[in-house]
Amino acid sequence: MRVVPTPIEGVLLVEPKVFKDGRGFFLETWHAQRYADVGIPGPFVQDNRSRSVRGTLRGLHAQRKRPQGKLVSVVAGEIWDVAVDLRPGSPTYGRWFGATLTADPPLQLWIPAGLAHGFCVLSDTADVEYKVTTPYDPSDEVRIAWHDPDLAIAWPVDDPAVSPKDAAALPLAAQGFPPVPPRA
């Protein structure tokens, strides 16, 4: 597998090794030791899957007291996946990283604990799977406005379809997080 560091410490873009032949393909989507060796430690305690239609935006979501690390993969379709650094004291606090993830080639994004996550669907439909390091806890969940001007995420959709909960999400500053430093 090939692992590409991103501008946010700990966020990794993973390109699993794919073995193709006339019958199709095979790849490992998780191997505890190999992934630990490149900085993706696990253990994972829950697997999640969603299907969404073009223009859907899910996020930005995080947990405060029990943050989740997430290993995100696309099983079918294409998404634009985003991680936002919410770790207090991090040199990239308030910064985001986005990457296009597809089923072919299969790419994964590792988002360590302490970051918010969201994605929007670029294909007609997309099936997204992700492993998490901490169980989902609705009482601990933080939803951040996808269009928070302090984050200034360059989403590739103008008028996304969002859930009622995501539509009601507040900007980061309105939720007791430290101010986002100005971009240099």
Q: Which residues are catalytic?
A: 61, 130
43's CB contacts (< 8 A; 6+ apart) are 32, 133
Helical spans, DSSP H, in 52-110: none
Coil, helix or strand for 23? coil
Q: What is the DSSP letter of 73?
A: E
Distances (CA, A) of 112 to 8, 25, 133, 162, 178: 10, 29, 9, 24, 19
The greatest distance separating any two alpha carbons of the chain, rounded to the nearest whole angstrom, comes to 55
**Rounded to whole angstroms, how far apart are CA atoms 149 and 139?**
26
**Rounded to whole angstroms, how far apart are CA atoms 8 and 1?**
20
**Rounded to whole angstroms, how far apart are CA atoms 47 and 135?**
9
**Rounded to whole angstroms, how far apart are CA atoms 74 and 156?**
17
